[in-house]
Structure 1
């Protein structure tokens, strides 16, 4: 609560996250300032000693290098020229945003990479058409996570399959985890409604709430290179980022992509992409070795603060786990609740937990072991309960200013985190209300069917 209030009041996300971390550790250390200071140091040392966190932070920094190199090469400018002059596909604010929307829907392999690519491609197009960066951030955020939770051939699917498999192994439910997950995806009402609401907002230029006051960037587009440069200097790195994620998921999963390591895969994806870019850019004399190295360094330096924000986001996630925030909120659910409203309550609980902790994946890990036994005990539809957890996790994550996906979408679109949260919130709430109504409706339908 403190982190969220500070974020909205001070607009300083790092100060806000640190405030929440420190207060949580103060509670955990019996209200001792000395112990809290020591625990704060220990927490950050513990985080940076974990390989997956270091790889995720390195990924955020290396993305900066890739984006800067694509810009310096002239590939982005070539793409903008192709889309606006040669094909005239992008000739309005709507078409500029639709490019990012389509990227967000088509690239479902990893939500962070989806947001970053959609933002990198969409930003120059939106600048040309005078579209506010806040609206681009909304499109990036409202397509990446929802599509990743619907088409589960990615890390999201791997996590959910593992959580459902645990429920099967403990004898709580019977069946096959793959079929249970696929059935649950059909009821993922928040993801479905978010994609529809986002498309309608883009197509009909619907601006509600703070989005009405969002301003287009006044900064002049910094692409001074020759527009005749081939757009392949942008398209090939993007293709490599997508392809390499599949390759490394396959390698780390020892032949099974669903068992691959997401953090390891995206880290090695960026290293491999930068290596090929070096050979391609220098080999075709697009830039010298010195220019390549300088651009890569400048890009990494730009995104170093984002890596620090992600580290703080991971830290507050650890603190909320230690405080058992999720379990406490889940315990507030009434066991005597009507089966009609079970999935709706699970959706709301998951939303609150995800909003409070800033993590959809952490919410899945907390709530699926709670939701599945509740559904079984009340003879309710288990797949609907699992879907409610997934929908609530994504919804709360979308609304939270301390979420890593919120931060990454803001970064990709060059938009302030708090501005992105405020402008996206009304659209997320509309999608959330639609999802809530659908869970209540299907609760009635399953009751009547039984």
Structure 2
């Protein structure tokens, strides 16, 4: 079927990429791409067939699993927020933090601990640590950089996070990958070069072992004079203030056990039940219910209301997941993979494939803000090229994920940047002016490392 549609099989992907660049949106371009694909496939009867493909996608076991996990994580994230559990860590840190570097180091460590979801990381870390870093005159945009550049790399390097869940589902749905999504994901972790380099760069940045850019020097000098906010930023400049004020006004007693125990149960439960992440998250949620009632943190009504809100907060993510998998189905029906293989086979250079994958995904993530969508689009294209070139699949997938993480860091209209800017109360561009030079340096270094790995792996 792919040979029949030829060059037209690339049209849905082109529509998604171009529309995303123009509109700076994610879900709508993906849906539009699936509609365009349905028109190519079914002609004037595209709509009922598009609905049929949508229902078939939503009933696919791998897709259902990937939809359920974010909903469960949403409940857990909401529980932590409503119980004020994260504040307990800040109160503990205040007892030991004595200077500016240590306050950023505490933020870095806290970011590693809050690894389950980048949204939770962005809002919780910035919102709880800003009072601590303010005490030592840390510029808010520097706090934003450390927060955002720690959260996503940690989330993607640990197989118990929303990033991991999405990628496991994506891998599990591919007929070109052997084994289950979890096993495939684990095999790619050693090759997630950019996230590892980013964590190292952030740590070096904290201890001033890498040069400060001109903008960072100016920000530090400004903060030393008592002005923590860059021009155009401040407590009332971002659109998420209502949510942040609600969190900051939480009067519930912070208890460290309210965070630590559910996380231990999440990890231990997942491992004990044959790495079943659904069981692990459910056990963590049950732990929250029991623990928060026993210590009087939340009432039954608050627990159930918080659970519903947590699911609601993940609805957009679930819709995004459905749209991505529907586009994958459309591309398979159009024969996109076969066409790409036939077209680029004479041009394939096995040595460059991991590095090129990194750069392509990084560029698309940066220009569209669609990091997960980009990976969903790229995966069915790079897998045949990888297998045909006899390149290590885990290496190429690690490069793909690395590119996605870069996009998450530097897309000024992306979710991760926006939420981090909101929690630290700076503009998105102020954060990017700090983070982009270091992220770009990490990307360039990662590219050359992937070239080297291509020779030895």
For residues 197 and 331 of structure 2, the distance between their equivalents in structure 1, rounded to whole angstroms, comes to: 29
2:373 is equivalent to residue 358 of structure 1: yes
Is 1:371 aligned to residue 356 of structure 2? no
Which residue of 2 is the match for residue 95 of structure 1? Answer: 105
1:393 aligns with 2:400: yes
- Quick check: 2:252–2:297 contact (8 Å CA) kept in 1? no
Shift of 1:294: 1.8
Aligned-pair CA distance for 1:45: 0.8
- In structure 1, the partner of 2:197 is 193
- Inter-partner Cα distance in structure 2 for 1:426 and 1:330: 35
Aligned length in residues: 387
Question: Which of 8, 15, 18 is matched with 2:28 structurally?
Answer: 15
Structure 2 unaligned blocks of 5 or more: 1-13, 134-139, 220-229, 366-371
Q: Is structure 2 residue 125 aligned with structure 1 residue 125?
A: no
* Distance in 1 (alpha carbons) for counterparts of 2:278 and 2:90: 28
Structure 1 residue 74: Cα displacement: 2.6
RMSD: 4.8
- CA drift of 1:228 comes to 4.8
Contact 1:96-1:122 at 8 Å conserved across structures: no
* Aligned residue in 1 for 2:266: 241
> Which of 347-356 and 18-27 deviates more?
347-356
Paired residue for 1:46?
A: 56
User: Where do 5+ consecutive residues of structure 1 fail to align?
Assistant: 108-112, 168-177, 251-256, 258-264, 376-381
- With the length of structure 2 as denominator, give the TM-score of the two structures: 0.66
Whether 1:347 and 2:355 are equivalent positions in the alignment is yes
Cα offset, 1:435, TM superposition: 3.1
Offset at residue 399 of structure 1 (A)? 5.4
TM-score when scaled to structure 1? 0.67
- Structure 1 position 311 matched with structure 2 position 322: yes
Specify which of 47, 58, 69 is matched with residue 59 of structure 1: 69
Q: C-alpha separation between the residues in 1 aligned to 2:151 and 2:341? A: 30
Offset from partner CA, 1:342-363 (integer Å, 9 cap, x none):
3213431576479598365886
The CA deviation string for residues 298-332 of structure 1, in whole angstroms up to 9 with x for no partner, is 23223323322222233223333334445544545
CA distance in 2 between counterparts of 1:141 and 1:192 reads 11
Q: 1:285, CA displacement in angstroms?
A: 2.1
118-127 vs 6-15, greater mean Cα deviation: 118-127
Q: Is the 8 A contact 1:103 1:114 kept in 2?
A: no
Q: Distance in 2 between matches of 1:343 and 1:123?
A: 40
Looking at structure 2, the residues matched to 6 and 134 of structure 1 have their Cα atoms a distance apart, in angstroms, of 29
In structure 1, C-alpha distance between the alignment counterparts of 2:45 and 2:261, rounded to whole Å: 51
